[in-house]
Amino acid sequence: MHQAKGFSVAAAIAALVLGAPAALAADRESLDARFQQATPVGCEVHCGDVITQSTRLTHDLSCPGTDEPALHIEGAGIVLDLGGHTVRRSSPVQQDTLGIVVTGNSMVMVRNGTIRGFASGVQADGVNSLRLHELMFADNGAAINNRSDNTYFLVTNSRFIGNGAGFASEIDAAEGTFDVRSSHFENNRLGIYLDTHNADVLDSTFTGNEIGIYCFAASVRVRSSTFARNEAVATSTAFMGGRDTCERLRFEDTLIADNASFAPTATPVWNVIQLDMINNWIVGNDNGLTAASSQVYVQGNTFWDNAGGLTLGDYTIFGSPQTGIVRANRFLRNDGDGLRVLPPSTPTVIGNVALGNTGWGIHAPTAFDGGGNVARNNGAGNCEGILCAPY
């Protein structure tokens, strides 16, 4: 094993990272801009090399898939540019094989290429920040695997195809944040798996995955994204106590369409402490959304032509009824009820419209009536527990 040498264009980044950790978070955008402008020099790189300076690959790498990583990045402020090339596993066995491993309390960027066929495509070990840009992760066990405490991942313009998981982490031994922007997840078993991690997903697409997001012990925010034709949109653990609790699921301005289900058959309910659904279009899904939470904020959504509407219930471990706001939503032509609130839940239901559902328009016998609700032409009845006007 030898060190791959290249011209370091990120010395200023390294100085900031090593000399001023507090400045890293405050000036992350500035540092990222320097990464984007970096132009590493191409050099000869071989499987097993340790990358200690900014480097650009000049050819594909087919690596045997041993316990040693295909490439190892060690140091601060390093940019590894794959140069449009592929780093792949050549052996027939995937178990325990490592693609690109990043170590050291540093800020590192990997960009512009494909990582294929490893148990862990990119693995972070003790890394402060890891920047991943314009990468294709294909057929890995875990495309990105975190084994670090408090690592910040910024992933942009990347594709995750056919992996066991797009994002994963060492159970009970890693924490961090996955910041995902303008990326695509397709035909993965799990798009994003979150154990003691937070995720912020923006302008991204999930299609054909077994499960889009698994909130095991985490908080998740999804904005301006699309979930289409997945087996399940998301899942969380059934309540077991302790830390294994999904703290928050939040969907904003997102299209959720033509999915086989909102949650897998084994855990058909989203069990979360806080559920936020804001200004989403939820259209043509093969069942309805059932969620159990302590707090709920559901506003401005359209549930249209699904094989079920929205069912809200209590996260019973807290021993008190669910509270929150269900406001200004539209429940249109769904099979079953448009909105059903299960006793003893007590959210305030205000200004919703329920039209043409085959069951009840709004069935909420224990909810607080905030007024302004409209329901008509629903098969089982328009409203139960609250007063609805026909227009």
SS (H, E, C) 157-217: CCEEECCCEEEEECCCCCCEEEEEECCEEECCCEEEEEEEEEEEEECCEEECCCEEEEEEE
Looking at residue 186, what is its pLDDT? 98
- How buried is residue 379: exposed, middle or buried, by Cβ count under 10 Å (0-12/13-18/19+)? middle
Structural domain boundaries of the chain?
A: 56-389
Predicted TM-score of the model (pTM): 0.90
Look at residue 130 in the predicted model and tell me its pLDDT.
94
| Helix/strand/coil percent split, the chain, to 5 | 5, 50, 45
Q: Of 287, 298, 300, give the one whose Cα is nearest residue 260.
A: 287
In the prediction, which pLDDT does 240 show?
60
Handedness of CA 94, 100, 103, 107 (dihedral sign): negative
Between CA 266 and CA 325 the distance in angstroms is 28
Q: Could you give the dihedral angle defined by the CA atoms of residues 72, 73, 79 and 83, in that order, rounded to the nearest 10 degrees? A: 0
CA-wise closest residue to 213 among 196, 227, 233 = 233
Which of 64, 79, 59, 183 has the alpha carbon at shortest distance from 118? Answer: 64
For residue 362, what are the β-bridge partners?
A: 339, 383
pLDDT at 244: 74
Residues near 121 by Cβ (< 8 Å), separated by ≥ 6? 99, 100, 115, 137, 140, 142, 143, 144, 145, 163
Question: In this structure, are residues 249 and 227 in contact, taking their beta carbons and an 8 Å threshold?
Answer: no
Contact 79, 111 (CB under 8 A): yes
Token reading at 277: 């659904």
Distances (CA, A) of 289 to 23, 224, 233, 374: 43, 19, 10, 21
Rg of the Cα atoms in the chain? 24
Q: What residues of the chain score a pLDDT lower than 50?
A: 1-26
The residue with tokens 């669910």 is 322
Question: Residue 321, preceding bond cis, omega within 30 degrees?
Answer: no
- The Cα 29–Cα 174 span in angstroms is 24
Residue 320 pLDDT: 74
| pLDDT for 67 | 76
181 vs 178: CA distance, rounded Å: 10
CATH topology of domain 56-389: Pectate Lyase C-like (2.160.20)
| C-beta separation of 288 from 310 below 8 A | yes
Instruction: Tell me what pLDDT residue 170 has.
Output: 79
pLDDT confidence of residue 91 = 86
pLDDT given for residue 25 in this prediction: 45
Find residue 281's DSSP bridge partners: 255, 302
